[in-house]
Amino acid sequence: MRRSIVSAIAFASLVMSGSALAADLPFKAAPRPVVEPWSWTGLYVGVHIGGGWFVKEQTITAGVPIVIVNENNYSGSGILGGGQVGINYQMGPWVIGAEAQFSAADLDGKNSCMFAVVALLNCRTNVDGIGTIAARLGYASDRTLYYVKGGGAWAHDQYTISSSITPFQTFRVDDTRWGWMFGAGIEHAFYGNWSGKIEYNFLDLGTDTINFPGLFATLGVNEAVDTRQRIHLIKAGVLFFIISAAE
């Protein structure tokens, strides 16, 4: 009996001394996984959809020898969709790059053009194509990029002037015009090499003279119509980095 008690005491002392020794040993935590920061450097492609509206300011003259000047201002709106390709380079939180976009569009607007002496005219414009080439400057907060952009822009327009009284005639002209643009947006990398963005663009295509052959001979209206055009666009897009420094 006495021997059993002595053995138990000895075992308990051994266990306690082992625990104290283990407590004195340095504790080594499990290594944390290394998370690589997202990089916006790379080459990407993408698609976008959206809507837009334009403002037309037309100056139409008629009448000989008495000249009547009509300032015809109207707007139009519609939808668009297309694609883009671009490249980024990140330096710290700053991101520089360039991007080209093309959109097939259906922005449509019309208005009546009244002349007191000559005729009652209907003016219509349809914008069916829009393109931009711009430089981008952005500030990155990990996977979110805030950016502005600026560069050149073009639009393809279909113009129609028609008379609503005799002689009933319709005059159509296609025109491609160039100008400048600026924009701003926010982009977020949500999965792998995929990102999404929302963007606003303003295009100023200046004033161009659109010629409508036969307009003067038929209706007595000057064939040269000075037209100023501005376009506003809002687009949402999805992008894929085909070459990315984040891989």
Q: What pLDDT digit, counting tens, does each position of 117-170 carry? A: 555 788 999 999 999 999 999 999 999 999 999 999 999 999 999 887 777 889
Q: Is the pLDDT of residue 14 over 50?
A: no
Per 3-state DSSP, what percentage of the chain is helix, strand, and coil (rounded to 5)? 10, 70, 20
Residue 157 lies in a domain: yes
Structure confidence at residue 8 (pLDDT): 46
Residue 162 lies in a domain: yes
Give the C-alpha separation, 176 to 180, whole Å.
Answer: 14
**What mean pLDDT, rounded, does the chain reach?**
85
Residue 188 lies in a domain: yes
Rg (CA), the chain: 34
**Torsion angle of alpha carbons 38, 40, 43, 47, nearest 10°?**
90
Helix H segments across the chain?
2-24, 215-219
DSSP state of 185: E
Give the C-alpha separation, 20 to 43, whole Å.
Answer: 59
Higher pLDDT, 88 or 23: 88
Helix H segments across 105-166?
none
Residues 6 or more apart whose CB falls under 8 angstroms from that of 80 comprise 49, 50, 51, 52, 103, 104, 105, 106, 107, 130, 233, 235
Confidence of residue 36 (pLDDT cuts 50, 70, 90): low
Q: Which domain holds residue 218?
A: 39-244
Residue 26 lies in a domain: no
Q: How many structural domains comprise the chain?
A: 1
Place of tokens 């000989």: 64
Closest by CA position to 55, among listed 70, 71, 39, 44 = 71
Structure confidence at residue 21 (pLDDT): 44
Q: Is the pLDDT of residue 96 over 80?
A: yes
CATH of the domain at 150: 2.40.160.20
Residue 19 lies in a domain: no
Q: Is the peptide bond before 167 cis (omega within 30 degrees of 0)?
A: yes
CB 110 within 8 A of CB 126: no
State what percent of residues in the chain have pLDDT above 90.
62
Residue 27 lies in a domain: no
